[in-house]
Amino acid sequence: MSMNPNAGTPTVYEAKNGDYNGEAAVWLKYGDYEAAVLPGIGGNLIAFRNTARGFRFLREPEDMQAFVSDPGTHGIPPLFPPNRYDGGKLKWNGEEYLFPVNEEATGNFLHGYLHTLPWEVEAFGASEAGSFVSVAHRVGEGHRMYEYFPYSFTLRIRYTLSALGLEQDVTLFNESERRLPALLAFHTALNAPFAEESTSEDCRIKVTIGQRRELDGRMLPTGGFQPLAEWEEEMRESGVNPYVDAMDNHYTAVPQGGRNRAEITDTRLGVKVVYDVGTSYRHWMIWNSGAGGAFICPEPQVNLVNAPNLSLPAEDMGLFAIEPGEVWQATSRIYAVDLASGV
């Protein structure tokens, strides 16, 4: 325990093994914030809450059995490679790799395996600086993914709770002797509303989108763009109801004020949740489950959907390599701001 110099009251911090609805979890606490990571299910950070105000920032599962069978739409699932690849093909380094089609409706390979498999808990702990857990997943010989994509790499995520909210630090380490494509996204599911007494009508979302990518009938980019609807321009500039229209849209990311982020504001409470993903993520996928009114996924994505298979400039697609022995790193943060006080 330490003293919070701003509030003058004790700040409790801890990190411990525990349980989340029957699944093994690592629980973090810092002041009014708490979070839970499920190492056995994709290293998913499944809960992030403000316990004093009753805020649940992430969509949490109501049915654990359904979640375990399809863990991609709750919490913060890591996706490698993210989104859809034409017929399962992935062209890279002058070779063509073939994943099995797992989305029959489109005939594509979708989202990879890492969000469904167990991760290793490397360390967890707590101090007055923050409560943290580090989880990692290594792909190499004998791994399910290596069978289709024979590269060795380790994806490591460190989550830290502090007075500054939830920090996510991601590293991708290329342990192969060949160049590894940095194909990564997070299918982050944010509650809107996040407060117990608020409704969807109280919510507005703003995202630093640029242009909307045109997608064909199989949800693959054509290489062209579509004009933004009026509500999309509002989402970029001032904010719009998260369920103004059904969204399953792909956008370029264009930082505003040096930051690349999604914001959900509860206009009833005057509280804004900021999801600042940093400028390494060059694209957004935004999905709201048919405008269902409960959650929305602003998904930060490094690469354009199906990027390795497209004949477009690599820089525009966010397609780049991690050289053998090198590391790619990115940091994101989720935190809440009281608009009246600015804290």
- What pLDDT, on the 0 to 100 scale, is given for residue 1? 28
In 3D space, the residue among 32, 22, 149, 178 whose CA is nearest the CA of residue 81 turns out to be 149
Tell me the average pLDDT of the chain: 96
Percentage of residues of the chain with pLDDT beyond 90: 95
Task: Determine the Cα–Cα distance for residues 301 and 83; give it in Å rounded to an integer.
Answer: 9
The whole model's pTM is what? 0.96
Residue-wise pLDDT for 317-332, tens only, equals 999 999 999 999 999 9
Could you report the per-residue pLDDT of 63-96, keeping only the tens digit for each? 999 999 989 999 999 999 999 999 999 999 999 9
pLDDT of residue 8: 54
8-state DSSP, 68: H
Give the residue-averaged pLDDT of 239-268: 98
Q: What is the pLDDT of residues 106-154, one digit of tens each?
A: 999 999 999 999 999 999 999 999 999 999 999 999 999 999 999 999 9
Question: Average pLDDT of 253-267?
Answer: 98
**221-236 exposure pattern, b = at least 16 Cβ within 10 A, e = fewer:** beeeeeebeeebebbb
User: What are 19's strand-pairing partners?
Assistant: 24
Specify whether the CB–CB gap between 25 and 37 falls below 8 A.
yes
Q: Can you give the pLDDT at residue 341? A: 83
